[in-house]
Structure 1
Amino acid sequence: MMNIMHPALRRLDLNLLPVFDAIYRHRSVRLAADELAMSTSALSHALSRLRMTLNDPLFYREGHRMCPSVYAAQLAPSIASALKFLNQELTPQPEFEASSSTECLQIAITDFTAFCIFPALMHQLQHNAPGLRFELLYLPHSPALTELLAGEVDLALGFSTPDDVRHPELDEINWFEDEYVVISNKSRTQLTLEDYLAARHLVVTPWNEKRGVLDLQLEQMGYTRQIAIKTPSMLSAPFIVAESDLLMAIPRFAAEKLVPAMDIKIFALPFEIRPFEVKIYSHKRSGKRGATHWLKAVLQLLAQEVNSGR
C-alpha cells in the first residue's frame, strides 16, 4: 500500500491555521477578522470549516468572548509555534547591501591563494564593504567539493590540476593565470635543465598530494627531480630556499612579491609547462547567494586589475 505523507495535513486547509491562532489570541471573531483583513462573515465561515475538519467546536461564546475548548487550548501552543517558525523561514531574504553588511563568509584557501587574493581584496573592501567578515579555512583537498556541496564553505580558492573534473553543481571562475618560475639563493648564477635536475628541491603540497604538476610534466619528459622537502605551507618555504641550496618552483606573481623581502633570485623554469591557474569555486545554490554573487563580481574586477598591472 502506498504510504501517504502527512495524512492529517492533507485533510486541512493550512490557511485556516492563522484564523485559529488569531481567534485564540484575541478571543474575538471581530478582532481576529480585523487582524487578518477579513470580513467577520468570512472568518466565521473559516471557523466553521475548521470545526468540521477537526471535529471539535474549538471555541464557544461566553458573553462577548470566544473561549477555547479543551482541545483548542491543547492545540494553540503548537499552532502558534509552527506559524512563527514558518513565517521566519519563509520571509524573503533581503537584498545584499555590501556597504552595510556584517555577513561572515567561510572561504577555503591555501597559503598561496590567500596570498594572491586577500591583500588586494581587503584593500578594496575596507571602503566598499567595511563590515563584511571572512573566516579563511585550510582544507585538505581541492576544490573543497564536499564542503561546498554541504554548505560548510561559501567559496573555495584553489588551483587547477590535470585531474580536475567539473562538477555540475559548482560554478568556477578562472581568476588568475601565471607562469611558473624558480627561486634560489643569491649565489646561483644560472639555471639550465641539467642544473635543475641535478639540484634538490622544496615542493609545497597544500593537500599533501603525492606528486605536483611539475613532477607529472617531468615524468612525461622522461625525467625526475630530487625532492628534499615537502611541506603543506608556503610560509616558511622561501626562507628555507634563501638559506640553502634548494630550488623552489613558484608562480611569478608570488616570487616578485618575495624578492624585496629576502635574499633570493628568480630564474625562468627551464622546461615548458601549462600556466598556473587560481580558480574560484562556489555552489550554484549557495545559502548566501547575494553575498557570494557580489563578492565574485568584485573578485572578477580585481582579477582584471591584477592581471593588467603585472
Structure 2
Amino acid sequence: MMNIMHPSLRRLDLNLLPVFDAIYRHRSVRLAADELAMSTSALSHALSRLRITLNDPLFYREGHRMCPSVYATQLAPSVASVLNRLEQELTPQPEFEAASSTEHLQIAITDFTAFCIFPALMHKLQYEAPGLRFELRYLPHNPALTELLAGEVDLALGFSTPDDIRHPELEEIGWFEDEYVVISNTDRTQLTLKDYLAARHLVVTPWNEKQGVLDIQLEQMGYTRQIAIKTPSMLSAPFIVAESDLLMAIPRFAAEKLIPATKIKIFALPFAIPAFEVKIYSHKRSGKRGATRWLKAKLQTLATECSSGR
C-alpha cells in the first residue's frame, strides 16, 4: 500500500491557519477579519471549514468574545510557532545595498590576488561599502572547487590553467589578464633566451605543484631551466631576487608594483607563452548572491581600471 505523506496536512487548507491564529489572539471575528483584510462573512466561512476539517468547534461565542475550546488552546502555540517560522523563512531576501551592508564574505585568494587588487578594492569600499567585511583565506588548490561547493568560501580568485575542469555548479568569469615578465637584480643588462636558460631561477608554487606553466612550455620547446628555489609566497620572492643572481617570472602588473619596494629590473620573457589569467569563481546557488554579484562587478571594474592605468 502506498505511503501517503502528511495525510493531515493534505486534508487541511493551510490558508486557514492564519484565520485560526488571528481569532485566537483577538478573541474576535471582526478584529481577526480586519487584521487579515477579509470580510467578517468570509472569515466566518473559513472558520466553519476549519471546524469541519478538525472536527472541533474550536471557538465558542460568549457575548462579544470568541472563547477557545480545550483543543484550540492546546493547538494555538504550535500554530503560532509554525506561522512565525514560515514567515521568517519565506520572507524574500532583501536586495543587496552596498552602502548599508554588513555581509561577511569569505574569499579564497593567493598572494598575487591579495597584493594586486585588495589595496585598490579596500580604498573604494571604505566609501562605497564601509560595513562589508572580508575573511581572506589562502586558496588551498585551484579553483577551490570543494570549498565553493561546500559553502566554505563565497568567491575564489584563481589562476586559469589548461587543465581546468569546469563544474556545472560553479560560475567562472575572466577577471584579470596579464603578460609574464622576468625580474632580476639591477646588475643585469640584458636577457636573451640563452641567458634565461643559463641562469638559476626562483619559482612561486602556491600549491606546491611539481611543474609550472613556464616549465611546461619550455619542455615543449625542448628546454629545461635550473630551479634554485621553490616558494609558496610571491611576496618574499622579489626581495630574494634583488639580493641574488636568481631570475623570477611574474605578471607584469605585480612586477611594476614591486619596483618602488625593492631593487629589481624588469625584462621581457624571452619566449612566447599564453597570457597569465585570473578568474573569479563562485557557486551558482550561493546564499549571498546579491553581495557576491555586486563584488564581482566591482572587481571587474577595478581590473579594467588597473589595466587601462598602466
Q: CA deviation at 1:146?
A: 2.4
- TM-score, normalised by the number of residues in structure 1: 0.92
Secondary structure of 2:241's partner? helix
**Cα distance in 2 for residues equivalent to 1:105 and 1:236:** 27
Q: RMSD of the TM alignment (CA)? A: 2.0
Specify the code of the residue in structure 1 equivalent to 2:93: Q
Distance 1:2 1:212, change over 3 A: farther
Specify the code of the residue in structure 1 equivalent to 2:51: R
Task: Tell me if the contact between 1:107 and 1:135 (Cα under 8 Å) persists in the aligned partners.
Answer: yes
Secondary structure of 1:260's partner? coil
**Cα distance in 2 for residues equivalent to 1:83 and 1:233:** 53
1:70-92 deviation line (CA, Å, top 9, x unaligned): 33222222211111111112222
Q: CA deviation at 1:280?
A: 1.4
Task: Tell me if the contact between 2:139 and 2:156 (Cα under 8 Å) persists in the aligned partners.
Answer: no
Task: Tell me if the contact between 1:101 and 1:129 (Cα under 8 Å) persists in the aligned partners.
Answer: yes
Any residues of structure 2 matched to 1:224-239 within 5 Å, and which? 224-239=224-239
Specify the code of the residue in structure 2 equivalent to 1:75: L
Task: Tell me if the contact between 2:206 and 2:231 (Cα under 8 Å) persists in the aligned partners.
Answer: yes
Specify the code of the residue in structure 1 equivalent to 2:87: N
**Cα distance in 2 for residues equivalent to 1:150 and 1:4:** 33
**Cα distance in 2 for residues equivalent to 1:274 and 1:3:** 60
Task: Tell me if the contact between 2:176 and 2:279 (Cα under 8 Å) persists in the aligned partners.
Answer: yes
Secondary structure of 2:260's partner? helix
Moved more, 188-197 or 204-213: 188-197
**Which residue of structure 2 lines up, in the alignment, with residue 172 of structure 1?**
172
Secondary structure of 1:31's partner? helix
**Which residue of structure 2 lines up, in the alignment, with residue 83 of structure 1?**
83
Task: Tell me if the contact between 1:98 and 1:128 (Cα under 8 Å) persists in the aligned partners.
Answer: yes
Task: Tell me if the contact between 1:199 and 1:247 (Cα under 8 Å) persists in the aligned partners.
Answer: yes
**Which residue of structure 2 lines up, in the alignment, with residue 136 of structure 1?**
136
Distance 1:30 1:220, change over 3 A: same
1:106-132 deviation line (CA, Å, top 9, x unaligned): 221111012222122222222222222
Moved more, 207-216 or 56-65: 56-65
Specify the code of the residue in structure 2 equivalent to 1:60: Y
Task: Tell me if the contact between 1:241 and 1:247 (Cα under 8 Å) persists in the aligned partners.
Answer: yes
**Cα distance in 2 for residues equivalent to 1:142 and 1:270:** 27
Structure 1 gaps, min length 5: none
1:38-87 deviation line (CA, Å, top 9, x unaligned): 12221122112112222222223334332323332222222111111111
- TM-score, normalised by the number of residues in structure 2: 0.92
Q: CA deviation at 1:287?
A: 2.0
Task: Tell me if the contact between 1:162 and 1:213 (Cα under 8 Å) persists in the aligned partners.
Answer: no
**Cα distance in 1 for residues equivalent to 2:51 and 2:80:** 18
Moved more, 153-162 or 119-128: 119-128
- Number of residue pairs matched? 310
Q: CA deviation at 1:295?
A: 2.0
**Cα distance in 2 for residues equivalent to 1:104 and 1:242:** 38
**Cα distance in 2 for residues equivalent to 1:3 and 1:267:** 74
**Which residue of structure 2 lines up, in the alignment, with residue 240 of structure 1?**
240
**Cα distance in 2 for residues equivalent to 1:273 and 1:121:** 29
**Cα distance in 2 for residues equivalent to 1:163 and 1:12:** 55
**Which residue of structure 1 lines up, in the alignment, with residue 35 of structure 2?**
35
Distance 1:2 1:164, change over 3 A: farther
**Which residue of structure 1 lines up, in the alignment, with residue 119 of structure 2?**
119
**Which residue of structure 2 lines up, in the alignment, with residue 303 of structure 1?**
303
**Cα distance in 2 for residues equivalent to 1:225 and 1:6:** 69
**Which residue of structure 2 lines up, in the alignment, with residue 254 of structure 1?**
254
Distance 1:225 1:31, change over 3 A: same
The runs of at least 4 aligned residues of structure 1 exceeding 4 Å deviation read: none
**Cα distance in 2 for residues equivalent to 1:227 and 1:200:** 6
**Cα distance in 1 for residues equivalent to 2:148 and 2:70:** 49
Task: Tell me if the contact between 1:23 and 1:66 (Cα under 8 Å) persists in the aligned partners.
Answer: yes
Q: CA deviation at 1:294?
A: 2.0
**Cα distance in 1 for residues equivalent to 2:11 and 2:177:** 60
**Cα distance in 2 for residues equivalent to 1:159 and 1:90:** 38
**Cα distance in 1 for residues equivalent to 2:300 and 2:87:** 36
Specify the code of the residue in structure 1 equivalent to 2:190: Q
Structure 2 gaps, min length 5: none
Any residues of structure 2 matched to 1:144-293 within 5 Å, and which? 144-293=144-293
Q: CA deviation at 1:254?
A: 0.5
Specify the code of the residue in structure 1 equivalent to 2:161: T
**Cα distance in 2 for residues equivalent to 1:247 and 1:77:** 73
Secondary structure of 1:298's partner? helix
**Cα distance in 1 for residues equivalent to 2:74 and 2:213:** 66
Q: CA deviation at 1:6?
A: 2.5
